[in-house]
Amino acid sequence: MSRNPRLGIWLMIAAVAAFAAQDGFSRYLASEYNTLMVVMVRYWVFAGFVTLLALRRPEGLRSAVASRHMRVHVARSLLLVGEICVIVWGYTLIGLIESHAVFAICPLLIAAFSGLILGERIIWQRWLAIGAGMLGVVVILRPGMGVFTPAALLPLAAAVMFALYSILTRLTTRDEPTFPSFFWPGVIGAGLMTVAGLPNWQAVAPADLPLLAIYAVISIFSHWLLLKCYEQIEAARVQPYAYLQIVFVTLIGLTVYNETLSPLVALGAGIIIAAGLYALSLERTAKT
């Protein structure tokens, strides 16, 4: 199949816009209903999506999902479930803008963990970028200035969990296809969230049923767009466009939820994004 990099870039932009919309719905639904219940519905839809993909694989369902790393997939599923629950909870406590400003540190944490856990060599310039990103987080959180709240640590904890999830994903894809690593977190996570979410089930108001349905559809659509994006262009080339998600999330936070963008949050997010883009440029330079 011939690739179309320009289409891939537009698909990435559409994907991050869809993820931002998904986060916007998450913020509302989790403020009205139990967070575990909202995430459970999201996982039910995601599990159905990956199961449908598995059934359509040409090699057959069993071969498509076979993996020698099931213990790692369970660990990945636990991390992803924890990350989603924590970040959605964070949306309800400190809002979308501040949560995503802190969560933007995630790519730099992945780079750090790749050295500490996988033993990959990290040049000093990349450590400099990681340090700059952490400085950006400190600017946002402002510890010791009387404005810090423990809830502000939720997106940082979510970023750490997602970074560890990504590192474990690298381990599972070193010696087997990527599809099992996509399939199992959805299915295992749906089981985990069903156990956690069903006891917290709440009746959904009729006016919110369409919103819940749209939220479920977007959760599928965003992943579909991302899959199609990677069919057209390499992940490393398109990764800088993923930072547009914080722009879309900020617009939703400002216009829909009347959140504010403080100068220090904007400065901290700018430092983190600049550090992340610099780290990406180092990676692309090393490959050429």
- Cα–Cα distance for residue pair 112/120, rounded to 1 Å: 9
Over residues 22-42, mean pLDDT: 95
Residue 147 has pLDDT above 70, yes or no: no
Tell me which of 40-44, 120-124, 143-147, 245-249 is least confident: 143-147
pTM: 0.89
pLDDT of residue 285 exceeding 70, the answer is no
Q: Is the model's pLDDT at 189 over the cut of 90?
A: yes
* Res 126: pLDDT: 87
Structure confidence at residue 228 (pLDDT): 86
Question: Which tokens is 259 given?
Answer: 């959140």
Q: Is 142 helix (H, G, I), strand (E, B) or coil?
A: coil
Q: Which amino acid is at 189?
A: G
Mean of all residue pLDDT scores within the chain: 89
* In the chain, where the domains are located: 5-287
Q: Which residue has the tokens 């390499």?
A: 234
Residue range 107-114: mean pLDDT, rounded: 88
Task: Write out pLDDT tens, residues 223-272.
Answer: 888 878 877 887 767 878 888 999 999 999 999 999 999 999 999 999 99
Is the pLDDT assigned to residue 144 strictly greater than 60? Answer: no
Q: What's the pLDDT tens digit per position in 157-186?
A: 999 999 999 899 888 888 888 889 889 999
- Give, in order, the Cα–Cα distances in Å from 279 to each of 87, 123, 155, 199, 215: 24, 10, 21, 43, 33
What is the model's pLDDT at position 258?
Answer: 95
